Amino acid sequence: MSVSKNNITWGIRILISFLFLLSAVAKLYPSPYFAISTFEVKQLYPMGFSESFAPYFSRILIGIELALGLLLLQKNFLRSLVIPATILLLAVFTTHLTIETIQNGGNAGNCGCFGSLLPMTPIEAIIKNVIAMILLGWLFIIMQKTSERKDNFWVLTTVTFASILLLFMIAPIQPIESKFTVSTPEETITDTVPVTTIDTSTAIKVTDTIKKVSATKEVVKVESNEPEKKKSGYAQYFSSIDKGRKTLCFFVPGCDHCRVAAKELTELRKTTKDFPEISIIFMNEEADLIPAFFKEAGAEYPYKIIEVIPFWNVLGSKRDTPGIKYLWNGNELKYYDGINANKFDVKDFQKLINKSYSELKK
């Protein structure tokens, strides 16, 4: 192989290797268990993976990405196995992203290729994968069969199994505890609106004159100034959450955006009469930062801590932190989430909580 071809092949190998290694490492950011659990809930669950199988699949998949990134830098079975396996994996990813783009559109959301470290839309990921496959195809063509070694298959197996084992070691699978189920509309119990019945069938004495009233019944409905009571599904965490107006927050202790939202709520609470009581569900990620969280927020509020995967399930797989719900008698009137179009807007929230129920129904 000429010097120029050798430089090209090494350039491609280093580039693709870097992309795979970055993809594997990025899926462990900012901490392995948190990042992998987030990947499972946001990427694997929507694809139909069960809660019991997803933890194994996610670690094996990331381990294979890590292994391929390393194996592209060695010569054993490079052209016959490593390059075809890398192209195949990219083709599977691209097929999935293409289907998702057709069904849901690919101009928004994070495909999860580089975790939360480098958010990328499905269309951007497809373009990246196609370019990578073209480069690998070119690499396969220009490489000579004599440029690879086929005498040490153990290098492939050792690197692969070691990479997968490493993922299970740095992010051990934890039992899913604190399962949290939000009641569906079918399970929701609704209290009836108070009804006052006036029976005019009896005689009424007026100025010593008994007047007979026809035996009829008039039903007078008392219009309620608040919504009917429903079960929000959060009573197992806060017993009074379905009574009156409440502000329910979903925060991560180390999340800067969550801290800003909490601070804004505190400032608004100071200037608003009858502010909806604030309660917080924290993700069990860096829970030791909760005191610092409240210090920055400017006040402390009732809170519960739940594990990573149950937290994402409660928040909603399509939603992101910070999450803030406005509840009234268990009814969800507004749900802010994330840092994009639906992010928490303190001015909008102020207008919302100052409205009466009759105004909200309009």
| pLDDT, tens digit, 9 for 90 and up, residues 16-46 | 999 999 999 999 988 899 899 989 988 888 8
CA-closest candidate to residue 110, choices 22, 41, 48:
41
Enter the pTM of the model. 0.73
Q: Both 152 and 260 in a single domain?
A: no
**Calpha distance 9→153 (Å, rounded):** 22
The arithmetic mean of pLDDT across residues 185-205, rounded, is 36
Residue 318 — pLDDT band, cuts 50, 70, 90?
confident
For residues 148 and 260, state if they share a domain.
no
pLDDT at 201 over 90: no
Residues contacting residue 273 through CB under 8 Å, at least 6 positions apart:
none
Residue 220 has pLDDT above 60, yes or no: no
Confidence of residue 1 (pLDDT cuts 50, 70, 90): low
Q: Any idea which of 101-110, 245-254, 276-285 has the lowest mean pLDDT?
A: 101-110
Q: Is residue 115 part of a domain?
A: yes
Is 70 exceeded by the pLDDT of residue 198? no
CB 321 within 8 A of CB 337: yes
The answer to whether position 214 is within a domain reads no
What's residue 205's pLDDT? 43
**10 shares its domain with 104:** yes
Same domain (yes/no): 107, 23: yes
Report the pLDDT value the prediction gives residue 224, as an integer from 0 to 100. 63
- H-helix or E-strand spanning residue 33: helix 32-39
SS3 136: helix
Q: Which residue has the tokens 């807007």?
A: 345
Residue 55 shares a structural domain with residue 163: yes
Does 99 lie in the same domain as 9?
yes
Within-domain flag for 152 = yes
The sheet with strand 323-328 has its strands ordered as 303-306, 277-283, 245-251, 323-328, 331-337
CATH number for the domain spanning 277: value is: 3.40.30.10
Half-sphere exposure of 296 (CA within 13 A, CB side): 15
Domain boundary among 148, 170, 192: 170
Joined together, the tokens standing for residue 310 give 């149950």
Q: Which of 150, 170, 190 is the last residue of a domain?
A: 170
Q: Report how far apart, in Å, the C-alpha atoms of 56 and of each of 46, 229, 273, 360 are.
A: 16, 42, 50, 46
Least confident stretch, 104-113, 120-129, 201-210, 215-224: 201-210
Please give the pLDDT value at position 115: 79
Within-domain flag for 222: no
- Same-domain check for residues 147 and 262: no
> Which of the 8 DSSP states describes residue 224?
-
Q: Which candidate, 175, 129, 154, 136, places its Cα nearest to that of 23? A: 129
Residue 179: inside a domain:
no
- Alpha-carbon gap, residue 262 to 255, rounded angstroms: 11
pLDDT at 202: 40
Residue 48 has pLDDT above 80, yes or no: yes
Please give the residue that has the higher pLDDT: either 114 or 352. 352
Three-point CA angle 298, 302, 304, nearest 5°: 120
Statement to judge: residues 154 and 277 lie in one domain? no
Which H/E stretch holds residue 283? strand 277-283
Q: Quick one: tokens of 2?
A: 């000429």
In a domain, 105, yes or no: yes
Question: What is the arithmetic mean of pLDDT over 313-342?
Answer: 92
Closest CA to 69 of 112, 25, 127: 25
Task: Indicate the residue among 127, 152, 170 that finishes a domain.
Answer: 170
Q: How confident is the model at residue 351 (pLDDT cuts 50, 70, 90)?
A: very high
pLDDT at 181 over 50: no
For residue 206, being part of any structural domain is answered with no
Domain that holds residue 249: 245-361
Let me know whether 19 and 153 are in one domain: yes
pLDDT at 187 exceeding the cut of 70: no
* Nearest one of 51, 33, 17 to 115, comparing CA atoms: 33
Residue 113 lies in a domain: yes
**151 or 62, which is more confident?**
62
Q: Total structural domains in the chain?
A: 2
pLDDT in tens, 273-284: 899 999 999 999
> Residues 159, 250: one domain?
no
Pair (149, 251) in one structural domain: no
Same domain membership, residue 257 and residue 147: no
